[in-house]
Structure 1
Amino acid sequence: MQFAQNPRLTNDAVILEPLSHQWTQDLQEAVASQELWRHWFVALPTPEGMAEEIDRRLAEHADGLCAPWAIISAATGRAVGMTSFHTLDHANKRLEIGRTWMAAHVQGTGINPSVKFLQLQRAFEDLGVNAVEFRTNWHNHRSRAAIERLGAKQDGVLRKHRIHPDGTIRDTVIYSITNDEWPAVKLTLMERLYRHMQVPIIPNEASLFDAS
């Protein structure tokens, strides 16, 4: 059950709040921006289906199957997306970061690497996992590029892995970061976040980012 715990995580750019219906309206507006759910290669809730999606993630959390968060912009205090730990494998000390989406207007702003920093630090430093996995659609080139920029390495491709509701078949690309790779990945992410935020980033026990 430890991997399914979803404590509040913060840095200078984002706050990962335990998912709840408190954020439903913000998330409806976030997904409506540029109609993100219409992209055929991703599976996102519609604005009308947001409450049901939150219920689904909360039910999985109650069963110990995932750790869901709402992504909150530290600048505005509003929810701009969702993310989770799932595919939790306690026996082999592995988990997957996924089911992540963010509003179009925050993409490319440093929000995504800020979120991943918090999640990776929790996974490797708090939970002591051996590996963190990422999966995405073969045709989602933007997602693949973002995962690769994190420092994740491609493990392989699951051919004809999933059938979408419209009948198209998804090939799934699998990436991972291992615990021995995390120190170098962490430094790279800190450098990226410094470029976005233009302040020194020094992790400490009180705050994962300490701007001085």
Structure 2
Amino acid sequence: MTWIAPVTLSDDRVELIPLSADHAPELRLAVRDGDLWTLWYTSVPDEAGMDAEIARRLRLQEEGTMLPFAVRDKKTGTLVGMTTFMNIEADKQRVEIGSTWYARSVQRTGLNTHCKLLLLEHAFEALDCIAVEFRTNFFNRQSRTAIERLGAKLDGILRAHQKMADGALRDTCVYSIVASEWPAVRTHLRYQISRYPA
């Protein structure tokens, strides 16, 4: 993986650190906060599946299609979730930010805004991406609202895009931010952080 490589991203609120198998015990505690695996419209590992999920993400990193992070809340010093660069297309200079989950206690606190600003800064300013994509289930209104609040625009809906664990078909909402929009999005996110500190 030459275009995109493991890196630590941080600001005064949050630290995104390269995911490691050693993070499993803390992440099991984090996912218990809100029983996140019970949300039918998203895919969050339960405590028993955490080791396998970390291994899956690290395998995709070896294959060059994912760069996974553990999310550390600097207020508490604890790990509170995971996020990734995924569906990496080096030849097209495109990435998706996804496979993200946070403990319920840090949801709607501003932590996500900090995380997304760090990831988008790295994508557009270090990796010179031409576009960054976000995808979520049509029924995941909380995720859709958070993505739209970033300034991403809806590209469209992929109907019957994939099967969920229970066999239901998922409609996937596809959003993106393109490079020409990044300066305005960056200003918007910095404003949100300054006005509503986490």
> What TM bracket, shorter-length normalisation?
over 0.9
SS in 1 for 2:7: coil
How far 1:26 sits from its partner (Å)?
1.3
**Deviations 1:88-132, CA, capped at 9 Å, x for gaps:** 111211110000000000001111010000000000000000000
| Counterpart Cα distance in 2 of 1:124 and 1:172 | 24
**Deviations 1:141-169, CA, capped at 9 Å, x for gaps:** 00000000000000000000011121111
- Partner residue, 1:210: none
- Partner residue, 1:95: 95
- Partner residue, 1:78: 78
CA contact (8 A) 1:10 1:16 kept: yes
- Partner residue, 2:24: 24
CA contact (8 A) 2:68 2:82 kept: yes
- Partner residue, 1:191: 191
CA contact (8 A) 1:3 1:66 kept: no
CA contact (8 A) 2:4 2:127 kept: no
**Deviations 1:49-85, CA, capped at 9 Å, x for gaps:** 1011111111111121111100000111111000000
How far 1:13 sits from its partner (Å)?
0.8
- Partner residue, 1:39: 39
Q: For the aligned residues, what is the CA RMSD?
A: 1.1
- Partner residue, 2:127: 127
| 5+ residue gaps, structure 2 | none
Residue 66 (str. 1) matches residue 66 (str. 2): yes
SS in 1 for 2:35: helix
Q: Which amino acid aligns with 1:30?
A: A
CA contact (8 A) 1:131 1:176 kept: yes
How far 1:2 sits from its partner (Å)?
3.5
Q: Which amino acid aligns with 1:57?
A: R
TM-score normalised by the chain length of structure 2: 0.97
SS in 2 for 1:165: coil
Residue 147 (str. 1) matches residue 147 (str. 2): yes
| Counterpart Cα distance in 1 of 2:3 and 2:147 | 21
Greater Cα offset, 35-44 or 21-30: 21-30
SS in 2 for 1:180: helix
How far 1:21 sits from its partner (Å)?
2.1
Q: Which amino acid aligns with 2:129?
A: V
- Partner residue, 1:201: none
SS in 2 for 1:181: helix
| Counterpart Cα distance in 1 of 2:87 and 2:54 | 18
CA contact (8 A) 1:15 1:73 kept: yes
Greater Cα offset, 21-30 or 34-43: 21-30
- Partner residue, 1:105: 105
CA contact (8 A) 1:70 1:79 kept: yes
| Counterpart Cα distance in 1 of 2:177 and 2:140 | 19
SS in 1 for 2:119: helix
Q: Which amino acid aligns with 1:109?
A: T
Residue 167 (str. 1) matches residue 160 (str. 2): no
Q: Which amino acid aligns with 2:140?
A: N
CA contact (8 A) 1:4 1:85 kept: no
Greater Cα offset, 157-166 or 3-12: 3-12
CA contact (8 A) 2:159 2:172 kept: yes
